[in-house]
Amino acid sequence: MHMKKKGVRFLAGIIACMVLAQAAGPVRAANISELEQQKKELEKQKKEVDERKKQEQQNYNKASGKVNAIQSDADAVGEEIDEIDAALVETLASVELIEEDIEKKEGQIAQTTEELEEATETEKEQYKAMKLRIQFMYEKGETTYLQLLLESQGFADMVNKVEYIEKLYEYDRALLEQYHAAKEAVEQLKQKLEEERSELEAQEHELMEEKESLEIILAQKQEEFEDYEVQLAQAKQEAAVFKANIKKQNDEIRKLEAAASQKQSEIDAAKKAEEEARKAQELALQKQAQQEAASSGEGSSGSTSKDSSSGSTSSGKSYASASSYSGSGSKGSQIANYACQFVGNPYVSGGTSLTQGADCSGFVWRVFQDFGVSVPRTSYSLRSSGSGVSYSEAQPGDVVCYAGHVGIYIGNGQIVHASTQRTGIKITNATYKEILSVRRIV
């Protein structure tokens, strides 16, 4: 009878647990499955947004590259405009100098013309005087030259008269030839001055044509620069739209991640509740079995546990200090080697940071500054710093100057320089454009 009652109680406990499990189990299973499905949907949405973000990032990168390319082209055109402006100023200055020379030549021609007229008049007057004297000597009123000689007191007197007449004639003739030569010299001088004026006028004409040509080219370059400005504004606006989309998608991804995390928390909570219900169910069965087997002292218990751990590392790029290069070759070589380690870092207009960004003169200024050497901050001033050497004599550490640009010579016909916003700090052949000068600082 006692055994029968124990069997009835055990069976009742089993039935009660089964009823409890049937009542709670399906609800929890359905709830977990639904939560997992919702989480999968969130992860799917996040993946789709990630794909859209990836595409937008590619579009943004292309737009940024386009911005940098346009900016580089605009900078190049800006440099050409500066060069044309300088050439135009030089041409105008040359025109002014030639106009001054023409004015001087015209004054000299006017003075020479007056001198020529005076010489011509003097020649004419001398010629008239000579003719009158010859006529007087030969005619002497109504007395003929033969009579004048016959009336001589003697042969000696006649010879003297003849010699006097010949000397007077020779004097007049020599004087006339002198005036004639002077007139020809003045005429030649006038002709030479007129030829020089003609040459100056031709030069002025050529310079005016050059000025007109430069003005046309300048107008074209300014129009091209303005067009680049419009393109640059459009490209920046396009990049800004892509960047805004990326930000919006990042916000959406964070929200989806938060929602998925929340769903995972709900899933974990549901699974925990299910596990606790299962354990409670098992515990109830164990208690029921213990009660039924109390007389025999049966029972069991156990537990397991797991443990895990994880770690992470991080790394970053580092740069050697200028002082670490001391003792390795000449000071110029130290500067060149030190500068090369910053290749790949960005170009920033007006910047002087070797890591965060610098322009061409800011890069040179900072490198020399790190070695305690003071140099000018602008590329124009760097042209007159230190001492000039020829390119064939260039050594590592020399500053190579171009029109509106500078770099540091590193040897083997190469320079390291902050090139453009598109390419940043890089190594280039030193003769990639015309070299204006090479300056030795150290």
Q: Is 135 exposed, middle or buried (0-12, 13-18, 19+ CB in 10 A)?
A: exposed
Token pair, residue 386, equals 């230190």
- Burial class from Cβ neighbours inside 10 Å (0-12, 13-18, 19+) for residue 42 reads buried
Reduce the DSSP state of residue 396 to 3 states and report it. Answer: coil
User: What is the distance between the alpha carbons of residues 320 and 24, in angstroms, rounded to a whole number?
Assistant: 67
CA-based end-to-end distance of the chain: 114
DSSP structural state of residue 439: E
Q: How many CB atoms lie within 10 A of CB 401?
A: 22
Collapsing DSSP to helix, strand or coil, 386 comes out as: coil
**Residues marked as catalytic:** 360, 405, 417
The first and second tokens of residue 276, run together, are 């606790």
Residue whose pair of structure tokens reads 């006339």 in the numeric block: 176
Using CA atoms, how far apart are residues 430 and 442, in angstroms rounded to an integer? 19
Strand partners, 347: 358
Helix%, strand%, coil% for the chain, nearest 5: 70, 10, 20
Contact 122, 179 (CB under 8 A): yes
Rounded distance between C-alpha atoms, residue 81 and residue 11, angstroms:
101
Long-range CB contacts for residues 212-216, cutoff 8 Å, separation at least 24 = 214/84, 214/87, 214/88, 214/91, 215/88
